[in-house]
Amino acid sequence: MNSSIQWISWVKHGVVFGYLIAMYLFLISTAVGAHLVTYFTGRYYQDEDFLPLEKVGTFLPWLILLLMPSLLLVDMTHPERFYTMFYHWNWTAPVAYGVYIIPLCILTYALHSFYLFRPEMMLAVREDRAGSGLYRFLLWGGIEEGSATEIRQRQQKSQNLWANLTLVFSFLALLYVGLRLSSFKGRVMVHSMATVFIFLSLAASSGTGFMILLGRLKTAIAPPPGPALAKQNRFLADFGGILKYALVAQFAIWFVYLIQLGFTGSGGNLAAYIFLGGPRAVQFWFFQLVIGLILPLALMCFQSLRENPLASLVAGAATMIGAFFAVANLSIGSQLIPLTHLQWEQMAPEPFKTAFGLVIMAILLALFLVSYKILPYEKPVAQKSEA
Amino acid sequence: MKKFGKDMDRREFLRGLGTTAAALGTGAVILQTGSIAQAATPIKKYGMVIDTNRCTGCHGCSIACKSENNVPEGVYRSWVKQIIKGEYPNVRSCLLPRLCNNCEDAPCLNYCPTGATYRTPEDGVVHVDREKCVGCHTCVLACPYNSRFVNPLTGTADKCDFCYHRITKGLLPACVDACTGRARIFGDMNDPQSEISLYMAKYPIQGIRTYLDTKPKVHYVYADEAILDLDYSFLSRRKS
């Protein structure tokens, strides 16, 4: 019908949520996913030697969540009014929930991290080790007696409370990012519960990839003593196994999602076309599918490669790149479908915003690596010999 | 709550947390329900009917709107879509004047996190409070009609509000006043004797994306289906 139509005049509206918001959504899902994966594997292993990785999976996501709202602020045209969201609460707006959920995530992650590091920090203060000044400040003077294990046993109740609360708010944060996109009425690409499941699967795979990447970097930068290192390497290899299944789940969810789109009228077909042959095809086929899904899946299928640090690093990084493009494809792709005319909406270049996002990511990586040198991730050697 | 960290009783803490959340939630729901109930039963219901048979495509409405509301270049509160349909010699020009629908169940209002988008309860018109808007763009994406934009001058969300400063003084919106073909009929849809109500009773009414159930208050008469409901498959059949 439209083949004989010429468009004479219309208005183009462009893309309002660009790469910065995609980074924001990706970082939330990665941080929360990393923490959830660590939380559950930690409960599964119940091993003291897993604690350093639990610290990686709690403290580093906390850093991400702490810096990530800056992306949202830079994307706003009036960031100076951001605080008004806290008291002009609109209960039908998904963002209004995020305004509370993300700070509560930050708070619970901070307290959970504090209790994870607390015994080792106390030991370092008592033995006047390097960094004891910082630790004394963080501990606020309350130094207890006993070994790290004894202190940990005494604080178990509080540690568990905050750990469990991180679990609650992590799931809420994941629901928030999913609903933030899926609630947009009339945006056929994202307006379904499939978006929420996509974010759950992305969080699982990207979070596991993050743990493998940052866990391997930790063992390289601040290696634990011999037997603990062997155990941590085994845990990290096991993360490879989790990543394999998370990627399979992600593949399955995307497959079902694309099939669903095919049965959602002409708008759904067009949404699927955006991924498969339209404006986001390169990002979908190359970055999301080949780099983000097939490559890490191929690497993590073999036990020898899961144990190989380089192969796991590549798999972790590739998974995260793929997850980022998956989020970007969903977020940006959903806005490319025109609502009032028959030409793709165009995304105006945002060099400042994109550069800002990359700078924040670089700062985060630097902070992660510095924290490995500053904070007591491992059990102190002296305490180990005590045990 | 007992001493933080050491002697905390989990049950007690969770009970306190639950009670506080329940109290806050109940309060918020009561407040919100009150405002919704107030907004859902406006005394007046301003709306517009556009008879596309009368539209000549002069774009007078777009210019009048820009001039009246100081709308910057590149963005529009009111604009006219135009297509040429068919093949020579059976060619037809179709026009569709567009503006914010001021929906009764407006997604932009529902998704605004700061309450900057609000509805005046006495007439149901949807507004943007420039002092409250943080420029998060959520409403722009939430509008299924692409009727919103971020004003480059103010940095806040912007859209048509039926020239509220005019209609509250008994004047017609600028676009209605400027319409050379008298295609736009504006008025109170709750008043059965108003011109708009009589027009709506007389002619079959159309709307854009009515299946979304947002209850738009801008209606069309004699609009061509090809311009009203887009056939998206056209885009996937050609190179982007």
Count other Cβ atoms within 10 Å, centred on residue A17. 24
Q: What confidence category does residue A385 fall into, taking pLDDT thresholds of 50, 70 and 90?
A: very low
Cα distance from B179 to chain A (closest Cα, Å)?
18
Secondary structure of chain A: what % helix, strand, coil (to 5)?
75, 0, 20
- List, for residues A198-246, the tens digit of each pLDDT value: 999 999 999 999 999 999 999 999 888 878 899 999 999 999 999 999 9
In terms of pLDDT, which residue wins out, A11 or B157?
B157
Of A292, A260, A252, A258, which is closest to residue A276 (Cα–Cα)? Answer: A258
Residue A354 lies in a domain: yes
- For residue A142, being part of any structural domain is answered with yes
**What confidence score (pLDDT) does residue B32 get?**
62
Over residues A133-164, the pLDDT tens digits come to 888 888 887 788 888 889 999 999 999 999 99
The answer to whether residue A3 is domain-embedded is no
The pLDDT-based confidence of B165 (bands split at 50, 70, 90) is very high
Cβ–Cβ of B80/A77 closer than 8 Å? Answer: no
pLDDT of residue B7: 59
Contact A10 B28 (CB under 8 A): no
pLDDT (mean) for B135-143: 94
Q: What is the 3-state secondary structure (H, E, C) of chain B?
A: CCCCCCCCCHHHHHHHHHHHHHHHHHHHHHHHHHHHHHHHCCCCCEEEEEECCCCCCCCHHHHHHHHHHCCCCCCCCCEEEEEEEEECCEEEEEEEEECCCCCCCCHHHHHCCCCCEEECCCCCCEEECCCCCCCCCHHHHHCCCCCCEECCCCCCEECCCCCHHHHCCCCCCHHHHHCCCCCEEEEECCCCCCHHHHHHHHCCCECCCHHHCCCCCEEEECCCHHHHCCCCHHHHCCCC
pLDDT, tens digit (0-9, with 9 covering 90-100), for B171-187 = 999 999 999 999 999 99
Task: Determine the residue among A15, A16, A156 to mutate to test chain B binding: the one whose Cβ has the most chain B Cβ atoms within 10 Å.
Answer: A16
- pLDDT value of position B36: 56
Least confident of A16-20, A88-92, A235-239, B222-226: A88-92
What's the domain range around A202?
15-386
Average pLDDT over residues A2-18: 77
Do residues A33 and A227 make contact, with C-beta atoms less than 8 angstroms apart?
A: no
Kindly state whether B23 is in contact with chain A, defined as any CB-CB distance less than 8 angstroms.
no
Using the beta-carbon criterion (under 8 Å), do B235 and A158 form an inter-chain contact?
A: no
According to DSSP, the β-strands at A5-9 and B79-87 are antiparallel
B44-236 topology per CATH: Alpha-Beta Plaits (3.30.70)
What does the pLDDT look like over A265-299, one tens digit per residue?
888 889 999 999 989 999 999 999 999 999 999 99
The answer, for B78 touching chain A at a CB cutoff of 8 Å, is: no
Mean pLDDT rounded to a whole number for chain A: 91
> pTM for this one?
0.89
pLDDT of residue B38: 52
Confidence of residue A383 (pLDDT cuts 50, 70, 90): very low
Q: Is A133 among the domain residues?
A: yes
pLDDT above 70 covers a percentage of chain A that reads 97
Pairwise pLDDT comparison (A274 vs B33), residue with the higher score? A274
More confident residue, A383 or A279: A279
ipTM: 0.86
What is the rounded (10 degree) CA torsion for A57, A59, A63, A68? 40
A306 band by pLDDT with thresholds 50, 70 and 90: very high
pLDDT attached to residue A137: 87
**What pLDDT sits at residue B217?**
96
More confident residue, B226 or B170: B170
Q: Is residue A2 predicted with pLDDT exceeding 60?
A: no
Task: Flag the least confident range among A32-36, A79-83, B2-6, B196-200.
Answer: B2-6
Beta-carbon contacts of residue A67 (< 8 Å; ≥ 6 apart): A360, A363, A364
B66 or B2, greater pLDDT: B66
Taking contacts as CB-CB distances below 8 angstroms, the residues of chain A near B230 are 2, 338, 340-342
Alpha carbon separation from A360 to A23, A212, A387, B203, B216 (Å, rounded): 10, 21, 41, 58, 42
Cβ–Cβ below 8 Å for A340 and B13: no
Q: A318: exposed, middle or buried (C-beta count within 10 Å: 0-12, 13-18, 19+)? A: buried
Q: How confident is the model at residue B25 (pLDDT cuts 50, 70, 90)?
A: confident
**Structural domain count of chain A:** 1
* CA of residue B123 relative to chain centroid, distance: 14
Mean pLDDT of A296-305: 96
Checking if the pLDDT of B6 tops 60, the result is: no
- Among A101-105, B18-22, B105-109, the minimum mean pLDDT is found in B18-22
CATH of the domain at A149: 1.20.1630.10
Q: Give B100 to chain A, closest Cα distance, Å.
A: 12
Which residues of chain B have a CB within 8 Å of the CB of A156? none
Give the bridge partners for B93, in sequence order.
B84
pLDDT at residue number A300: 96
With a pLDDT cut of 90, the percent of chain A lying above it is 73
